[in-house]
């Protein structure tokens, strides 16, 4: 389900050739997919790390560094088109389920706009709005309403334009995460929690049968582990990051385990709050599985810890499960793996898909 295509709704049409550009907290990832015929194949891939603090909790703090990373990622990938599909996340984005009386299709945009004025915490003229019809029962429409601050959309769009590219589609990171999962696990029918844990932001998307039921962004990410390790062991951030990933010698796993477990408890509490809120607005059906994405998903012991805490199977996402990967990309795909889930979802965007959803 594609929703959140704000630029499309405001008159920008997507051309036939477009690549996914995930501008995350720790890196910029450019993914171009080829969907000629029924198969999907990886056409181009480029990943470039960002300096710490360049982006935090979805906000760009160092525009020059971000622009430079975008240009290098696209150049590294060898992507020739300048048309990109990008995603946004963070506090300036709100996703809410709502119900309105059934109205004729031509009157629906106005009805949603009127309802949004009462539902969103932002001034209506300060946001871009989008929506998706989830279902209909007893002459009542259930909708997913998306509102994004115009300043947030233009912040990312301007960075992409500064890099010499055209942001022809603006989507929501959480929905992009769901799009790639729908492609890679089409047989999944249960209630699945997709959890992308980036450096400073955690994106949660609860899906069932290809339909998104709940999306939430939480300002919590892998940097919390690094910061805690640095403080407890009194070492620099860069050294703590290497220790967290097992690249730094001299630190026994026994010394890192208590720190890692303490932060994992914090992460689990944030997840529980999100799941509790979802349960208060949905049916009594329980989440049957959790799928982790993002660089932090590879943290030693995290999958087992969350599985034990929530009592459900926990897997690590495979964003290229149903994507053909040529040998020249195999090593980089294997290295980046779960951190490319959002980029793959953005790369799946197709002309006219926002109209179909």
**Per-residue pLDDT reduced to its tens digit, 104-123:** 989 999 999 999 998 888 88
Residues 338, 195 contacting (CB under 8 angstroms): no
Residues 170, 180 contacting (CB under 8 angstroms): no
Q: Domains (ranges, CATH) in the chain?
A: 6-225+261-356 (3.30.420.40)
Decide which of 106 and 12 is more confident.
106
Instruction: Provide the whole-model pTM.
Output: 0.90
Distance separating alpha carbons of residues 221 and 235, to the nearest angstrom: 20
Per-residue pLDDT tens over the stretch 36-92: 777 899 999 999 999 989 999 889 999 999 999 999 999 999 999 999 999 999 889
Residue 253: its pLDDT value, please? 63
Distance separating alpha carbons of residues 282 and 193, to the nearest angstrom: 14
Residues 31, 58 contacting (CB under 8 angstroms): no
Residue 91: its pLDDT value, please? 85
Decide which of 6 and 219 is more confident.
219
∠ CA 58-274-218, nearest 5°, is 15
**Structure-block tokens of residue 116:** 């949004």
Distance separating alpha carbons of residues 270 and 121, to the nearest angstrom: 22
Q: Is residue 326 classed exposed, middle or buried when 0-12, 13-18 and 19+ CB atoms within 10 A define those classes?
A: exposed
Give Rg (Cα) of the chain.
20
Residues 22, 347 contacting (CB under 8 angstroms): no
pLDDT, mean of residues 115-132: 90
DSSP label at 219? S
Per-residue pLDDT tens over the stretch 236-261: 888 888 888 777 656 666 778 888 89
Residue 283: its pLDDT value, please? 64
Percent of the chain having pLDDT more than 70? 90
């Amino acid at each position: 389900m594609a929703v959140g295509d704000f630029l499309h709704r405001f008159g920008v049409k997507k051309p036939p050739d477009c690549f996914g550009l995930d501008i995350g907290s720790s890196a910029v990832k450019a993914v171009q997919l080829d969907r000629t015929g029924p198969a999907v194949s990886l056409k181009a891939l480029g990943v470039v790390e960002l300096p710490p603090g360049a982006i935090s909790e979805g906000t760009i703090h160092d525009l020059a560094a971000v622009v430079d990373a975008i240009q290098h990622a696209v150049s590294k990938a060898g992507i020739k088109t300048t048309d990109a599909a990008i995603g946004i996340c963070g506090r300036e984005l709100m996703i809410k389920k709502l119900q309105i009386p059934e109205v004729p299709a031509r009157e629906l945009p106005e009805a949603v706009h009127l309802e949004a004025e009462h539902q969103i915490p932002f001034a209506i003229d300060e946001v871009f709005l989008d929506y998706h019809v989830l279902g209909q029962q007893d002459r009542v429409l259930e909708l997913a309403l998306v509102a994004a601050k115009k300043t947030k959309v233009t912040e990312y769009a301007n960075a992409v334009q500064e890099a010499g590219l055209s942001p022809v589609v603006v989507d929501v990171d959480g929905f992009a995460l769901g799009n790639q999962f729908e492609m890679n696990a089409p047989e999944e029918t249960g209630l699945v929690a997709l959890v992308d844990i980036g450096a400073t932001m955690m994106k949660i998307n609860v899906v069932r049968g290809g339909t998104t039921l709940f999306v939430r962004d939480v300002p919590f990410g892998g940097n919390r582990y690094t910061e805690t390790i640095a403080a407890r062991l009194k070492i620099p951030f860069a050294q703590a990051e290497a220790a967290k990933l097992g690249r730094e010698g001299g630190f026994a796993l026994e010394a890192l385990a208590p720190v890692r477990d303490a932060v994992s408890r914090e992460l689990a509490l944030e997840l529980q709050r999100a799941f509790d809120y979802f349960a208060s607005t949905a049916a009594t059906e329980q989440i049957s599985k959790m799928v982790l994405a993002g660089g932090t998903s590879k943290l030693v012991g995290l999958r087992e810890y969350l599985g034990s805490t929530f009592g459900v199977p926990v897997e690590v996402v495979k964003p290229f499960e149903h994507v053909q990967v040529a040998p020249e990309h195999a090593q980089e795909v294997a290295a980046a793996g779960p951190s490319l889930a959002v980029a793959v979802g953005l790369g799946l965007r197709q002309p006219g898909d926002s109209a179909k959803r």
